[in-house]
Amino acid sequence: MKPEKLAKWMHDEYEKISKKEKWNTQKNCKVEFEDLPEENKAVMIELAKRIIIKFLNNTNA
């Protein structure tokens, strides 16, 4: 799995949950993943990489 794909999925799901739960998220983050500020995108991709390494590539996780 590519980190960018997982990061996009996590962002999309977070926004869906936020909307459902009526959480007030940052306006500049209520956009498509591709339109996120570069810093936010980079953090999400880094988090996705760590999840992949920890849970998908590590048989001891």
Q: How confident is the model at residue 60 (pLDDT cuts 50, 70, 90)?
A: low
pTM recorded for the entire structure = 0.85
In this predicted structure, the answer to whether residue 40 has a pLDDT above a threshold of 70 is yes
What's the pLDDT score for residue 57? 84
Q: How confident is the model at residue 42 (pLDDT cuts 50, 70, 90)?
A: very high
What residue segments make up the domains of the chain, in order of their start?
Answer: 3-18+27-56
Q: What is the pLDDT of residues 1-23, one digit of tens each?
A: 999 999 999 999 999 999 999 99
**Rounded distance between C-alpha atoms, residue 33 and residue 7, angstroms:** 8
The DSSP line for 17-56 is HHHHHT----GGGSS-GGGS-HHHHHHHHHHHHHHIIIII
